[in-house]
Chains A and B, each alone.
Chain A
Amino acid sequence: MKIALPIKFVIICSFLFLIHQIVQAQDNEEKIKMPESNNVCLNCHGHKYFSFYNENTEINERKLMNPYFVIDSISYLQGAHQGHSCIDCHSEDYGVYPHIAELKIEPKLTCVDCHDFEAIATEVKKSVHMEAFGEFFQCELCHDPHSNKLVKSDMAELVRYNNNRCLNCHNDVDKYQVFTSHENPQLLVTHDWLPNQALHFAHVRCIECHTAVTDTADAVHHIVPKEQAVKNCNECHSENSLLRDKLYKHQLKEDRSEFNFYKSFIINDAYIIGANKNYYVNLISLLIFGLTFFGILTHTIFRIIKRK
């Protein structure tokens, strides 16, 4: 049987794609186990409903779990604290149900009890959040310790994950109003000046525009008042785009050379007018322009000489 060349090409490409997918799937299969002791807690907190034996009434009861206290065990296992037991941070005394009432008002362990976040704390202190809410404003409001992770590889996922940290409150009236009596901001309306809004939302993080522009990584914690947010398109859409110091900081660190054609044309998965310049494309276009003018100039010179 004779197979036409384009069909062969398609078959080979599909085959390569399949292999690529299988290899990727295998990479992801490495399993991390939930610490044994967490099962006690997740038995109830891992579900929307929980059941217990009520000794007073002598019946098995089934109740609705407060949705804000439900722990998604999959996100937990993907998060940075995946190996930790609940009781590493929460009191061991939670082991009984009903939980002891005093535990609710006892001071909890906080992030800085384990982590050294001095530099970040300095930036957070300048943030509008701190100004508005003072010491109420804690890391975990944005970085849920039950799922927080550093997304690095996939840009789209990185952006989505990061923006959800903000949207968690800014798009949830109930959570938002724990801290303020303001109405929930109408994000789509306040950002309606932004062209191609959906694309911007999917490809850049809120903090690109809403944090102070400096070159320290910690400065992303300095959320500026809305009047100071970046609104000039040119700040990002420019050769010296501020995204170089923000969203693309990691990527650029890994690849400082502007001579890497493959990287800058294919790997970057977004297009930013004015900021996606490629050394080779620039060179080739200048060359073609140059040759065109050179040709015209030479012809003109001959025309002038011959006319005499």
Chain B
Amino acid sequence: MSNTKLYLYPVWLRIWHAINALCIILLGITGISMQYTNIESPLINFNSAVSIHNLVGVIIIASYLFFFIAGIISGNVKHYRLLFKGLLNRLFKQGEYYLFGYLKGEPKPFHITKEEKFNPLQKVSYVAAMYVLVPAVIITGVALLFPEMIIEKFYTMSGIRLTTFFHSLAGFFILIFLIIHLYVITIGKHPLKNFKSIVNGYHES
């Protein structure tokens, strides 16, 4: 079988992805450090963690806006459109492939094309990450940058406390996404094959 090369990740997407990945890692480390800070042995000095988290937070807002707008202009957003009909079936099929088929060396159930660059599981997790979790973390994060503006009380709960809860919840699941994302990209002919694609833009099969 001849090797086919598909150009799936244009330059802007790769640049965004690199910046985004770096920001998320920094935000994750500083975020965890702040949450579990301890005066005797802070992971990162508290004040620096706060400053880095704030600065990188602002960068990732810009980066997300770029992803959002560039996605629409370039048409990349079409890969994030979920077709609900039969979705569960497709997810199940892809899950089965990762759990069993792949290990047995069976062929992929969904082939990567220029029109469909994500398999169903990728699609759902990328939509969840990019159109649910990241926006949620950004909206709550912006609110927390200006905490005086948050409503003081939501019935008996502190508004700020509620906002931080959703902020850390979304942040937590982004980190879980990242861990799974990092593992799943190693599933392929060669563990580093997909990684190469997001660097040079070409998907090889």
Nearest A residue to B103 via CB reads: A306
> Is A47 an interface residue, CB under 8 A from the partner?
no
On whether A306 and B46 interact (CB within 8 A), knowing A240-B38, A271-B164, A274-B37, the answer reads no
Residue of A nearest to B146 (CB): A196
Query: Do the beta carbons of B34 and A288 come within 8 Å of each other?
Result: no
B151 within 8 A of A: no
Of the listed residues B37, B45, B165, the one surrounded by the most CB atoms of chain A closer than 10 A to its CB is B37
Report B98-125 CB contacts with A as 1/0, cut-off 8 Å: 1100011100000000000000000000
Residues of A within 8 A of B183 (CB): 296, 299
Are A199 and B161 CB-contacts (below 8 A) given A234-B46, A269-B153, A302-B103? no
Contact of B158 among A235, A269, A288, A306 (CB under 8 A): A269
How would residues 253 to 273 of chain A score, 1 for a CB under 8 Å from any chain B CB and 0 otherwise?
000000000000111111101
Q: Which residues of B contact A306 (CB under 8 A)?
A: 103-105
Residues of A within 8 A of B50 (CB): 195, 233, 273
Check B39 against A234 for contact (C-beta < 8 Å). Answer: yes
**When A269-B153, A273-B34 are in contact, do A234 and B148 touch as well, CB less than 8 Å?**
no
In the complex, per-residue mask of B10-52: 1 if CB is within 8 Å of any chain A CB, else 0:
0000000000000000000000001111110010011100100
Interface stretch, picked from B76-84, B128-136, B172-180, B195-203, is B172-180
The chain A residue sitting closest to B191, CB to CB, is A303
Nearest CB of chain A from residue B27's CB, rounded to whole Å: 14
Chain B binding surface SS class: helix
CA distance A72 to B22 in the complex (A): 60
Interface size, chain B (Cβ < 8 Å): 32
Tell me the bound Cα distance from A240 to B165 in angstroms: 20
**Of B147, B153, B156, which is within 8 A of A267 by CB?**
B156
Q: Is the CB of B172 within 8 A of A237?
A: no
Q: From residue B76, how far is it (CB to closest CB) to chain A in Å? A: 28
Give the chain A neighbours of B138 by CB distance below 8 A. Answer: none
Q: How far is the CB of B4 from chain A (nearest CB, A)?
A: 24
Kindly identify, within residues 216 to 258 of chain A, every residue whose CB is under 8 Å from any CB belonging to chain B: 232-235, 237-240
For the complex, is A293 an interface residue (Cβ under 8 Å from B)? Answer: yes
**Per-residue interface assignment for chain B, residues 159 to 188, with 1 indicating a CB less than 8 Å from any chain A CB and 0 otherwise:** 011001100000010001001100100000
| Chain B contacts with A in 46-66, Cβ cutoff 8 A | 46-47, 50
B157 at the interface (CB under 8 A from A): yes
Q: Which of A235, A285, A306 has the most CB of B within 10 A?
A: A285
Are B47 and A233 in contact, with the CB atoms below 8 A? yes
Which listed residue (A239, A266, A293) contacts B37, Cβ 8 A? Answer: A239
Residues from chain A with Cβ under 8 Å of B47 in the complex? 233-234
Tell me whether B46 and A233 are in contact (CB under 8 A): yes
Contacts of B98 in A (CB 8 A): 299
Q: Given A196-B147, A270-B161, do A235 and B39 touch, yes or no (CB 8 Å)?
A: yes
* Bound form: Cα–Cα A235–B179 in Å: 33
A289 an interface residue at 8 Å Cβ cutoff?
yes
A273 in contact with B147 given A285-B172, A303-B103, A306-B104 (CB within 8 Å): no
> Nearest A residue to B157 by beta-carbon distance?
A266
Is the Cβ of A238 less than 8 Å from the Cβ of B158? no
Quick one: CB contact mask for A269-281 with B, threshold 8 Å, 1 for yes? 1110110110000
A198 within 8 A of B: yes
Which residues 137-154 of B sit at the A interface, judged by CB distance below 8 A?
147-148, 153
CB pair B180 A292 closer than 8 Å: yes
Expressed in whole angstroms, the Cα–Cα distance for A267 and B153 within the complex equals 11
Cα-based distance from A184 to B153 in the complex (angstroms): 34
A-side residues, CB < 8 A to B, are 17, 195-196, 198-199, 232-235, 237-240, 265-271, 273-274, 276-277, 285, 288-289, 292-293, 296, 299, 302-303, 306
User: 8 A-B pairs, CB-CB below 8 angstroms?
Assistant: A234-B46, A239-B38, A268-B158, A271-B160, A292-B180, A302-B103, A303-B103, A306-B104
